[in-house]
Amino acid sequence: MARTVLRTPLCDLLGIEYPVILAGMGPVAGGMEPVATAELAAAVSNAGGLGMIGGAGYPPERLREEIRRVRELTDKPFGVDLLLPSDVLAASDGGERLPADPRSLIPQELVEAVKRLAADLGIEYVEMPREQARPRRGVMDIRGQTEVVIEEKVPVFASGLGSPAPWIERLKANGTKVISLVGNVKAAKRVAAAGVDIVVAQGTEAGGHTGRVATLPLVPQVIDAVAPTPVVAAGGIGDGRGLAAVLALGAIGAWVGTAFLVADEANQPELQKQRILAATEEDTRVTRLYSGKPMRNITNPLIEKWEEAGLRALPMGLQGLLIQDLMYSIRRAGRNELLMNAAGQIAGLLTRSRPAAEILYDMVTEAADILANRLPKTVTAVPGDGA
């Protein structure tokens, strides 16, 4: 049986077989290890797509280990996705200008509000032992992480938040292709002007950190705004129909996250996988609760109570320090359904866990069938030469 062929300029640009990039999905359920570890990234790369490590939660040397682990598992191209927000606790100086204990920046009234949320949910609020908490746990060492990416000459680098401008010259000197995710046209123009190789236009349907504009209107506007820089689409793409649709919009490929959250190789607790599989298209909600940035999650009573209370989220990093004792208390109480469970609106399409290679191959095979067979049978199209 012949292997499916589905090629776009993305395949030539990145040296891959299929125009699908694994989203670099980060820390799971309040922990530091990402969903997209070396195992998932390598599985996607070996299947013909581009696997990405979700590196945001890793300290620099741990990130280096994961990069080297991917290279043990595949000889295909892969990438690393980092978050580059401008918030005070995620500054590119690695937090060196912060107070010795950044928790001193947290307003006490917010701490008390979080304690009330725990009480409302019947959870005993217990402070995480400080030897586990580490005062600077919320600080992302962006400078250290990017130095590792540069030193290891990673084939592809993606900024899931913010602009990679300060590092583009050094990354490209290594031959690294640079990708940047955006949620609006303004950000797309900014990163294109900085010299990224690919802009990923991500619609609000996407799981995890997301914007406010839907994929269908966002993608063509970004394509027009940044041409000739190529655009990849993200948000609401969970099968071949979604992949074919964004190719029709003019994107050269798809950035896919939620569909791989339930892959066998995904570093995702079984409870979180099952909650995604049980979800409908209406069971997600965007909240700043878990990270300080808008993030789409499978909703739960904690998210609902946070939103109903109208509490002010702190900057990324500091928000993590605010809720770390609450997350510890939740795990201690065995209420893991209240932990972070990032997922997009496409969750309603997902019905089972299976290997990442199968997810990818089914997606590209369906897209190829739509483009080569189904559309010509159902749509008659003859371009005219005027009115």
Q: What is the DSSP string of 9-25?
A: HHHHHHT-SSSEEE---
The predicted model scores a pTM of 0.93
Task: Give CA–CA dist 23/234, Å, rounded.
Answer: 9
Average pLDDT of span 106-131? 94
User: What is the model's pLDDT at position 243?
Assistant: 98
Asked whether residue 264 carries a pLDDT value surpassing 70, the answer given is yes
Domain annotation covers residue 181? yes
Strand pairing of 295-298 and 78-83? unpaired
> Which pLDDT tens digit goes with each residue over 336-367?
999 999 999 999 999 999 999 999 999 999 99
Which phi and psi angles does 357 have, rounded to 5°?
Answer: -60, -40
Segments forming the whole domain that contains residue 196: 9-371
Task: Give me the chain's average pLDDT, please.
Answer: 92
Domain annotation covers residue 1? no
Asked whether residue 136 carries a pLDDT value surpassing 80, the answer given is no
Domain annotation covers residue 233? yes
- Higher-scoring residue by pLDDT: 83, 366: 366
Domain annotation covers residue 83? yes
Domain annotation covers residue 201? yes
Task: Give CA–CA dist 300/294, Å, rounded.
Answer: 16
Strand partners for 260: none
Domain annotation covers residue 4? no
Average pLDDT of span 95-109? 75
Asked whether residue 92 carries a pLDDT value surpassing 70, the answer given is no
Asked whether residue 94 carries a pLDDT value surpassing 90, the answer given is no
Which string of DSSP letters, residue by residue, matches 42-102? HHHHHHTSBEEEE-TTS-HHHHHHHHHHHHHH-SS-EEEEEE---SGGG-TTTTTTS-SSG
Query: Total domain count for the chain?
Result: 1
Task: Give CA–CA dist 237/242, Å, rounded.
Answer: 5
For position 128, which CATH number holds? 3.20.20.70
Task: Give CA–CA dist 79/134, Å, rounded.
Answer: 29
Domain annotation covers residue 386? no
Domain annotation covers residue 3? no
Average pLDDT of span 143-160? 96
